[in-house]
């Protein structure tokens, strides 16, 4: 062992993010003190980002099997069977901390990393989605800068790769001011018989590094992502990786060519912790050992020392498992594409992870101590004290009267549709090439993104959703709603949910109140997935989303995929023809009985009363599932022309969006007293869909609703060029479009 590497590690482990008990455990695993290289390897592999040490105990309870599942959690990405020897591969991950410090590269490399997870499974990426959170934009130049650069980073990387960004969500709230959220989701299409995994096997097989040279960018990025943001975070800017989408495009094509020609036996993305995590995970899955030679790694900077080489997070790199007899052929293909291809390791039978520099042994660690024996924590939890006062709040009649004395119904409506959380995200998605590959069947702005599968009748729909406000008030219900709304969005376009990926964003799990939020959110996801029969096939946990000791709202983001067997049955949210009837199916306009009023955690409450408070909306999963099945059945039988779920902003916003996308007006009459109209228009009660149809289909629709035991309420007719609601709101569709489409652009241009 090289004694030069033997430092006084007793003074170093805390700097690397390791705890006292973890340092003691490392010494027990090794039977000695680690050297600095070994300590660095343990620090990244045992980081929250890589080891999931605070979440593994809970995540194992997820439903992970189902009718369509080919691969659940544990690989680079999950896989669903869509028939005809085809499969979709997808996953969502976070790049929050890097984006908060360096928004352009943080967002760009987040996209790059998740794309590599997809083609590492043998799939060609076909689309991306994203879920973003920032502080409020009004009067805050830094938030505008973060927002602008994150969107540009996502757009530039995806556009250069030729992969359409087709959907997602963006929300603004002060809770994310110091710690923005950048969650990226990517989807690929593969032939089932060409799928590949990342397990290392076969004694003597080579680990071959394909792609970019290794530099100092991203060193200790995994550790950085496992800590809170503070005044020192800006100084850690070098921890953010630098992306090169043109190189990634080459790496993608090389890997898919090698897979197509069956020249490689396994493939792994190099993400957090670089060579270390990718190679260790491959060895651990295969129950083998590995010898790594850092002298063989192509370097961007010749002065790099071994620990830097091992944990660098330089982008656009892959590790391939190659039979020695095929190495020459693999190199020939990489030479054709003019990218690096070097054998940097060998599979062994000793279960040890050994790092060499030529003949010199620099470090030696039992593989399983880096993975299976990593610490697992089940932290203390307790219900946060803030809930005692926050949840008890509710608006009373005087509050509504006071608001009505200040604003007319028209003015309230205009403010709602112009809110950054409600209005069109056109300013965002117009910067993305959402039509490249020419498979986008439903444009951004609808409830779901839909991608056509070429040479088939099939299409795949995707929806991302998460409401931090709901989870702040009730993480159990809020998480259930996140799952249910993605499924409802899919149902509105005619898709049957197949499986989901998640990105779970929280503060420090070491704080009892935060871990309580996390635990209850997990329980909510488990409940929703079981009741709606939607398995979790992949995902990501992002902890320590705090700045200066203040955590974000608990924000579980759900990305769900659904199958449309015949794309002809696909439906959008837009009203189609004048004279059609408009029907609300599901829960009534205003809650009754013991239900919540639907105003708790709503955009209406925050926008006009500056409060995130009240009770999270109730949800009945049995009823919700019946609603989804009904909507899909109505679409399949050609009985309806549009379907749009009622969610953020309430039914008034739902109607506005269907009018503006269809460029047609509507005459609406909601059966409610005038004093209750505000509540009826802007409550966010769950399990509701607004549909439109030819009047000749009304009786058939009613019959279907009665069979499903789902309530229905005829609320209006499409007509003219104006939206009229209860004769209290009267506004032209053109004015709605102007307010809705241009709100963010106006803020960003000031």
Query: What does each C-alpha distance from 677 to 403, 681, 740 come to in angstroms?
Result: 12, 6, 22
**Distance separating alpha carbons of residues 328 and 332, to the nearest angstrom:** 6
Cα atoms in the 13 Å half-sphere on the side-chain side of 197: 16
**Distance separating alpha carbons of residues 416 and 648, to the nearest angstrom:** 10
Q: What are phi and psi of 62, to 5 degrees?
A: -65, 150
Alpha helices by DSSP H, 31-140: 36-45, 48-51, 56-59, 96-101, 103-119
CB 531 within 8 A of CB 479: no
Strands of the 181-191 sheet, one edge to the other: 69-71, 78-83, 86-94, 181-191, 124-134, 165-172
CB contact set of 683 (below 8 Å; sequence gap of 6+)? 590, 591, 597, 598, 599, 602, 604, 617, 650
The first and second tokens of residue 22, run together, are 């973890």
The first and second tokens of residue 67, run together, are 């009718």
Active-site annotation holder among 95, 434, 446, 628: 95
Q: Can 49 be counted among the known catalytic residues?
A: yes
CB 136 within 8 A of CB 174: yes
Q: Can 142 be counted among the known catalytic residues?
A: no
**Distance separating alpha carbons of residues 682 and 655, to the nearest angstrom:** 11
- Tell me whether residue 719 is exposed, middle or buried, using C-beta atoms within 10 angstroms of its C-beta: 0 to 12, 13 to 18, 19 or more: middle
Q: DSSP secondary-structure letter at 387?
A: H
**Distance separating alpha carbons of residues 463 and 675, to the nearest angstrom:** 35
**Distance separating alpha carbons of residues 725 and 712, to the nearest angstrom:** 18
Query: What does each C-alpha distance from 363 to 40, 41, 271, 382, 384 come to in angstroms?
Result: 11, 10, 22, 42, 45
What secondary structure, in 3-state letters, does 455-488 show? CCCCEEEEEEECCHHHHHHCHHHHHHHHHHHHHH
**Distance separating alpha carbons of residues 698 and 717, to the nearest angstrom:** 12
Reduced to 3 states (helix: H, G, I; strand: E, B; else coil), residue 125 is: strand
Q: What are phi and psi of 253, to 5 degrees?
A: -65, -40
- CA triple 733-739-741, angle to 5 deg: 90
What DSSP element (H or E) covers 94? Answer: strand 86-94
Reduced to 3 states (helix: H, G, I; strand: E, B; else coil), residue 341 is: strand
Q: DSSP secondary-structure letter at 71?
A: E
Cα atoms in the 13 Å half-sphere on the side-chain side of 700: 13
Active-site annotation holder among 49, 434, 628, 644: 49
Q: What is the residue-wise DSSP string for 559-610? A: EEEEEES-GGG---SS--STT-EEEEEES-SS--TTS--S-TT-HHHHHHH-
The first and second tokens of residue 299, run together, are 């370097």
Q: Which residue matches tokens 């800006």?
A: 234
Reduced to 3 states (helix: H, G, I; strand: E, B; else coil), residue 355 is: strand
CB 437 within 8 A of CB 566: no
The first and second tokens of residue 605, run together, are 């409450």
Strands of the 536-542 sheet, one edge to the other: 440-442, 449-452, 459-465, 555-564, 496-505, 536-542
Q: At what angle do helices 327-337 and 245-260 cross, to 10 degrees?
A: 140
**Distance separating alpha carbons of residues 185 and 540, to the nearest angstrom:** 11
Q: Which residues are catalytic?
A: 49, 95
């Amino acid at each position: 062992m090289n004694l030069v590497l033997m430092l006084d590690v007793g003074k170093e482990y805390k700097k690397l993010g390791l705890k006292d008990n973890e340092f003691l455990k490392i010494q027990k695993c090794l039977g000695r003190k680690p050297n600095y290289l070994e300590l660095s390897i343990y620090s990244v592999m045992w980081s929250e980002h890589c080891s999931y040490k605070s979440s593994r105990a809970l995540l194992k309870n997820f439903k992970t099997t189902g009718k369509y599942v080919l691969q659940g959690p544990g690989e680079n990405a999950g896989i669903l069977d869509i028939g005809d020897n085809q499969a979709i591969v997808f996953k969502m991950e976070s790049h929050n901390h890097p984006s908060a410090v360096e928004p352009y590269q943080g967002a760009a490399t987040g996209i790059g990393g998740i794309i590599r997870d997809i083609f590492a499974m043998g799939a060609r990426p076909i689309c991306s989605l994203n879920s973003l959170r920032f502080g409020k934009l009004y009067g805050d130049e830094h938030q505008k800068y973060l927002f602008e650069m994150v969107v540009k980073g996502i757009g530039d990387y995806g556009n250069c790769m030729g992969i359409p960004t087709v959907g997602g969500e963006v929300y603004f709230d002060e809770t994310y001011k110091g710690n923005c959220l950048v969650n990226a989701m990517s989807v690929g299409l593969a032939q089932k018989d060409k799928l590949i995994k990342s397990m290392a096997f076969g004694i003597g097989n080579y680990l071959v590094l394909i792609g970019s040279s290794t530099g100092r960018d991203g060193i200790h990025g995994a550790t950085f992502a496992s800590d809170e943001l503070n005044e020192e975070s800006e100084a850690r800017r070098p921890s953010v990786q630098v992306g090169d989408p043109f190189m990634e495009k080459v790496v993608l094509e090389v890997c898919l060519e090698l897979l197509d020609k069956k020249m490689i036996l396994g493939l792994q993305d190099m993400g957090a912790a670089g060579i270390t995590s990718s190679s260790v995970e491959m060895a651990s899955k295969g129950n083998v050992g590995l010898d790594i030679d850092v002298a063989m790694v192509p370097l961007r900077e010749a002065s790099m020392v071994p620990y830097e080489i091992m944990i660098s997070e330089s982008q656009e790199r892959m590790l391939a498992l190659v039979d020695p007899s095929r190495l020459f052929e693999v190199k020939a293909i990489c030479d054709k594409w003019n990218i690096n291809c070097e054998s940097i390791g060998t599979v062994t039978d000793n279960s040890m992870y050994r790092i060499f520099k030529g003949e010199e042994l620099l470090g030696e660690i039992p593989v399983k101590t880096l993975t299976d024996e990593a610490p697992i924590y089940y932290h203390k939890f307790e219900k946060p004290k803030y809930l005692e006062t926050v949840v008890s709040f509710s608006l009373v009649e005087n509050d509504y009267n006071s608001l009505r004395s200040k604003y007319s119904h028209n003015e309230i409506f205009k403010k709602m549709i112009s809110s950054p959380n409600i209005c069109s995200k056109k300013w965002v998605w117009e910067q993305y090439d959402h039509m490249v590959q020419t498979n986008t069947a439903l444009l951004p702005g609808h409830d779901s993104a839909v991608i056509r599968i070429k040479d088939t009748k099939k299409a795949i729909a995707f929806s991302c959703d998460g409401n931090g406000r709901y989870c702040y008030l009730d993480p159990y219900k809020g998480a259930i709603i996140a799952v249910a709304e993605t499924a409802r969005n899919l149902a509105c376009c005619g898709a049957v949910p197949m499986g989901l990926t998640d990105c779970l964003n929280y503060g420090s799990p070491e704080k009892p109140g935060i871990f309580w939020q996390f635990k209850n959110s997990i329980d909510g996801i488990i409940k929703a997935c079981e009741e709606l029969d939607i398995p979790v096939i992949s995902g990501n946990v992002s902890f320590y989303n705090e700045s200066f000791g203040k955590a974000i709202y608990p924000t579980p983001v759900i990305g769900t995929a659904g199958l449309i067997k015949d794309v002809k049955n696909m439906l959008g949210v837009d009203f189609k023809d004048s004279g059609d009837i408009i029907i609300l199916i599901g829960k009534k306009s205003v809650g009754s009985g013991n239900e919540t009023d639907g105003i708790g955690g709503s955009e209406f409450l925050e926008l006009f009363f500056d409060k995130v408070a009240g009770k999270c909306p109730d949800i009945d999963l049995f009823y919700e599932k019946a609603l989804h099945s009904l909507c899909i059945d109505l679409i399949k039988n050609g009985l309806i022309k549009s379907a749009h779920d009622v969610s953020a902003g309430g039914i008034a916003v739902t109607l506005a969006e269907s009018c503006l996308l269809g460029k047609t007006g509507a005459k609406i009459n909601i059966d409610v007293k005038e004093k209750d109209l505000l509540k009826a228009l802007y409550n966010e009660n769950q399990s509701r869909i607004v549909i439109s149809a030819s009047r000749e289909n009304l009786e058939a629709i009613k019959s279907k609703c009665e069979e499903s035991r789902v309530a229905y309420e005829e609320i209006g007719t499409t007509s003219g060029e104006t939206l009229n609601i209860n004769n209290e709101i009267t506004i032209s569709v053109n004015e709605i479009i102007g307010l809705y489409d241009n709100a963010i652009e106006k803020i960003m241009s000031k």
